[in-house]
Structure 1
Amino acid sequence: MPYSVRQRHRAPKVTAPIPPNDTLPRVCIIGAGSSGIAAAKILYTSAIPFDCFEKGSEIGGTWLFDNPNGTSACYETLQINTSCPRMAFSDFPMPEHYPHYARHDQVYDYFRDYVEHFGFGHTITFDTEVTDVRRGGGRGGWDVDITSASGSETRHYDAVMVANGHHWDARWPDPEYPGDFDGEQIHAHDYRSGDQLEGRDVVVVGAGNSAMDIAVEGSHRARSVNLSIRRGQWVMKKTIMGMATDQVVLPGWAPWWMTSLRLRLGALASGGLKKYGLPVPPHAPGQSHPVQSDAIRDRLKAKAVTPRPGIERLERDRVVFADGTSAPADLIVWATGYRVSFPFLSADVVDVENNDLPLWKRMVHPDRPGLFFIGLLQPVGAVMPLSEVQSKLAAKILTGACELPSRRDMVRQMARDDDRNKKQFYDSPRHTMEVDFDHYLWEIEREMTKGAVAA
């Protein structure tokens, strides 16, 4: 049954503490964002002993506006790009009164209720930063350095679940564009509200969801908004005829061409952007991560946003574009994506090059037993249910209910998945972690069945 309708009722509320089983491996979870709380809930209800460390003083990660941990990219008008039923955890649906696409504050409230419902809030240690994770030497496992207001210490764990997110380490143009600029430059990560755009000549650089949102908001607040796009993207509407467009759900076993066809039909139904002056994408709709915006067409049509090609150079109070045109600017917003990085993992542990970290099923390094990456993927859909199913697989491995494939089989499957990924998406750092939501869920659940250990 499709994931979005598989579970319509909340699991019973956990009313009594679940004591950990100290005979099971002890785990460290890094981060209490959407992926970290998914991992914590699964380990808690599985009685696996663990510590969850959060750098800030609140849960929620990206979805908490002005998160005290300083790494959230949340802005005032942020909404989810996946409809609520498709974003929710399997046993905890979002409230029925939520709109098709929840606001960031509604998502945060949902996460807070999730933690309270399953009763694991006491397992999260706040205001504590993980500064180093290294192999435990002769005793195996992992040594983890943590720092808090009370000082620093090292703890030993049998396993580590990395859930620090991948939308926090801003990627700026490299190399920088030639010329000098006298105005202000910010990354989309540092954008919070339209107040930063008020009365200014703004150039937004990028064609992703954040770029569209910022350009739309700027069209109501700024003196002028120019949207610089180097490579065209298919921009789909979130709703068509009052319905969330992602509710056309395919079975997980369906081949990619069916998902690609669904995306193509969505792009056709949304209408192209060529007539508004945006470049025609050189790829099919299913060959890139979807971009969604209900408002950008209206703002382009109203000429409140001016489309531009890529930048050629900066000229103090202007930006010159590749077609020779220019526009006044006193603020450039670089919506140029993020780097995948782990400040607590040395290159000896994992080496990320150009956002590419080869992993089995996007979660296990074949040469780093006991190290799990949770939520380190970019789905055609939402991360949350995928983090949940990854955590379920990790919990089964930790309790001995499931075994991983051999290293040889993992490497072979990784090569196959990488080849499939390169055929499905155009070559770009933003696609190194791309997965098909429904197919990925199906794959992980199949792995849990294949690797099940007889009782």
Structure 2
Amino acid sequence: MAYLVKQSHRAPAVTAPVPVDDSLPRACVIGAGSSGIAAAKHLHQAGVPFDCFEMGSDIGGTWVLDNSNGQSACYDTLEINTSCPRMAYSDFPMPEDYPPYARHDQVAAYFQAYVDHFGFRHTITFDTTVEDVSRAADGRWDVRTSGPGGTETRTYDAVLVANGHHWDPRWPDPAYPGTFDGEQIHAHDYRSADQLAGRDVVVVGAGNSAMDIAVESSSTARTTTWSVRRSEWVLRKFFLGKPSDQGLLPPGWVPWWVTALRLRIGATAAGSMTKYGLPAPTHKPGQSHPVQSERIRERLAAGAVTARPAIERLDGDRVVFVDGTSSPADLIVWATGYRVTFPFLDPALVAARDNELPLWKRAVHPDLPGLHFLGLLQPLGAVMPLAEAQAAWIAETLCGDYVPPADGDVRRQMAAEHRRYRRRFYDSPRHTMEVDFDRYLWDLARERTKGRARASS
């Protein structure tokens, strides 16, 4: 059964059953993380027949500590960088007793409650890996899976790819010259400060995970060095007593220059990082993905974290930096991001080069009908509401309630969107999927309205 939801601003509403319509196209959802469960929920509500495959035994993806699927980068102190109201699904608020920025276990519990409230847990097949997705002879999609029951291939009209993009670690390439006598791990494999205790730690990277790990290291390691190749504008999580994304970022779409101005105000209010030994960023606020930390300045000011520039070479039990300084090291934590990969898709069919995969509305490509990508974006905000909007759009498409524009229009829009975001953010693998949270929702809602009109004409 599927469910029709009566929305409430205060609490999840009562659901009413809607039968599955086997005359509709059959779909496959890959993954039961935050994007996959949004997809499953909307297909379930629309009565679309579908299967959802999850390689682990849990829902929630990266928000599940030590997820049995082996893909999670969750660590014990992880919390969201977007406030709860801005992260929640539109028809299922986060609990009112959650803090402004929920912990990973609270987020995981929220996803569990979401699945159970809308009643679609039975549609998820756990401990099952999608091994291959390929075009069938009739233009549909063959999906080969392996699980406790063995290997099986099923054919679907649509495949919704929701395998995430924070699971395949990107290491420095080429590797830094020299040799290193100690241990090297990627931030993906960091779980707790116990891994850092009593050690000489060098954390490499300028993102949120790098700052979190450096802060934790400063309380347990013998020494902590934070190596930053390119500085970022480090915002605080709170502004004038409110979560920054509620006080600084506007609700609803506004011109980009307004969002950039508010980010600039937040960066100015947070204070410069140059006094702690970091170079000034070479870009303006808003030209990169925002990073936030409430404690990194405090730990730098206390001397518990030492800031250094990019690495020049590795030298046995030390790391040498481009300014000629060096630090003792027996553990390097590479917080250097992730590669966008799809192990079940032929690279000749879909390949992200330097993490760059142009898509229309960050979800579909006109050369790949029936193949949809969810959550394959990096917003100035949380992915969940955007993946939810994508899921609702795809469900409308499969039900015949939405019709896309002509192929030429799709291609022109896709190219224009790609150029716009390339101009807006500085050139980096971390910005190939960047979007403006509010503008994206506004733009997709507008397109869905147009598509419904086309469908009814």
When normalised by structure 2's length, the TM-score is 0.96
Moved more, 249-258 or 389-398: 249-258
Determine if contact 1:13/1:118 at 8 Å carries over to the other structure. no
Paired positions, count:
448
Match of 2:299 in 1: 299
Partner of 2:282: 282
CA drift of 1:7 comes to 6.3
Q: Percent of aligned positions with the same letter in both sequences?
A: 65
Q: Aligned in 2, Cα 1:195/1:206: closer, same or farther, shift over 3 Å? A: same
CA shift digits 1:3-35 (9 cap, x unpaired): xxx96233423365x431101000000000000
After the TM superposition, which segments of 4 or more aligned residues of structure 1 sit over 4 Å from their partners?
none
1:361 is matched with which residue? 361
Does the CA-based 8 Å contact 1:9-1:91 persist in structure 2? Answer: no
Partner of 1:396: 396
Alpha-carbon displacement from aligned partner over 1:419-443 (angstroms, at most 9, x marks no partner): 2112210001100000000000001
Using a 3 Å threshold, how does the CA distance of structure 1 residues 241 and 258 change in structure 2: closer, same or farther?
A: closer
Q: Which runs of 5+ in 2 are unaligned?
A: 1-6
Match of residue 94 from structure 2? 94
Counterparts of 1:219-258 in structure 2 under 5 Å?
219-248=218-247, 249-250=249-250, 252-258=252-258
In the TM superposition, what whole-angstrom CA distance separates every residue of 1:244-284 from its partner, at most 9, and x where no partner exists?
A: 01003435442111111111111111111111111110000
User: In 2, distance between residues paired with 1:212 and 1:157?
Assistant: 43
Instruction: Output aligned runs, 1:68-83, within 5 Å.
Output: 68-83=68-83
How many angstroms apart in 2 are the aligned matches of 1:182 and 1:438? Answer: 47
Conserved 8 A contact 2:12-2:93: no
On the 8 A contact 2:351/2:357 being kept in 1, the answer is yes
Further displaced range: 269-278 or 331-340: 269-278
Indicate the residue corresponding to 2:145 in structure 1: 146
Which range moves more in the overlay, 346-355 or 29-38? 346-355
- The match for 2:317 is 317
Matched, 1:210 2:209: yes
**CA distance in 1: counterparts of 2:370 and 2:259, whole angstroms:** 33
Q: Deviations over 1:205-228 (max 9, x none)?
A: 000000000000000010000000
In the alignment, is residue 51 of structure 1 matched against residue 51 of structure 2? yes
Hey, what does 1:454 align to over in structure 2?
Answer: 456
Deviations for 1:49-99, whole angstroms, at most 9, x for unmatched residues?
Answer: 100000000101000000000000000110000000000000000001001
Residue 418 of structure 1: how far off its partner (Å): 1.4
CA distances 1:335-355 after superposition (whole Å, capped 9, x unpaired): 000000000000232121110
Which residue identity does 2:158 align to in structure 1?
Answer: A
SS in 2 for 1:312: strand
- In the alignment, what sits opposite 1:177? 176
Distance 1:424 1:207, change over 3 A: same
What code does the residue aligned with 1:121 have?
R
- Contact 1:85–1:93 (CA<8 Å) still a contact in 2? yes
Instruction: Measure how far apart 1:106 and its partner are.
Output: 0.3
Partners of 1:107 and 1:152 in 2: CA distance: 33
Query: Would you say the 8 A contact 1:170–1:189 is kept in 2?
Result: yes
In structure 2, the residue corresponding to 1:332 is in which secondary structure? strand
The CA distance in 2 between the partners of 1:345 and 1:178, in whole Å, is 34
Q: By how many angstroms is 1:405 displaced?
A: 1.8
Query: Aligned partner of 2:366: which letter?
Result: P
Distance 1:285 1:332 in 2: 29
The alignment partner of 2:448 has SS state of helix
Match of 1:308 in 2: 308
Shift of 1:410: 1.1
Distance 1:158 1:361 in 2: 20
Work out whether 1:61 is the aligned partner of 2:64.
Answer: no
CA distance in 2, matches of 1:293, 1:159: 40
Taking the aligned partners of 1:446 and 1:9, their CA distance within structure 2 comes to 26
What is the match of residue 10 of structure 2? 9
Tell me if the contact between 1:251 and 1:439 (Cα under 8 Å) persists in the aligned partners: no
- Read off the aligned partner of 1:107 and give its amino acid letter: V
Q: CA deviation at 1:312?
A: 0.4
Deviations 1:359-381 (A, max 9, x none): 00100011101110000000000
Aligned equivalent of 2:441: 441
SS where residue 15 of structure 2 aligns? coil
Q: What is the DSSP-based 3-state SS (H/G/I as helix, E as strand, rest coil) of the residue aligned with 1:416? A: helix
SS of alignment partner, residue 131 of structure 1? strand
What CA deviation, in whole Å up to 9, does each residue of 1:110-146 have, x standing for no partner? Answer: 0000001100000000000000001111x22100000
Change (3 A) 1:419 1:206: same
What secondary structure is seen at the aligned counterpart in 2 of 1:86?
Answer: helix
Measured in 2, the distance between the counterparts of 1:325 and 1:11 equals 56
Going from structure 1 to structure 2, the CA distance change for 1:326 and 1:236 (only over 3 Å counts) comes to same
Distance 2:335 2:12 in 1: 39
Determine if the alignment matches structure 1 residue 426 to structure 2 residue 426: yes
Q: Secondary structure of the residue that 1:338 maps to in structure 2?
A: coil
Alignment partner, residue 336 of structure 2: 336
Higher mean displacement: 303-312 or 244-253: 244-253
Kept in 2, the 8 Å contact 1:7–1:90? The answer is no
Asked if the contact 1:238/1:244 (under 8 Å) is kept, the reply is yes
Partner of 1:194: 193
**How far off its partner does 1:416 sit?**
1.0
Q: Which stretch of the first structure deviates more once superposed, 316-325 or 346-355?
A: 346-355
Query: More deviation in 354-363 or 232-241?
Result: 232-241
Aligned to 1:3: none
Counterpart position of 2:157: 158
- What SS does the corresponding residue of 1:320 show, helix, strand or coil? strand
2:4 is aligned to none
Cα RMSD (Å):
1.2
Deviations 1:153-180 (A, max 9, x none): 1000000000000000000000000001
In the TM superposition, what are the counterparts of 1:404-415 in structure 2 within 5 Å? 404-415=404-415
CA distance in 1, matches of 2:110, 2:162: 19
Distance 1:207 1:390, change over 3 A: same
Opposite residue 382 of structure 2, the aligned amino acid is: A
1:241 deviates by 3.6
Distance in 2 (CA, whole Å) between partners of 1:417 and 1:153 is 38
Normalising to structure 1: TM-score of the pair? 0.97
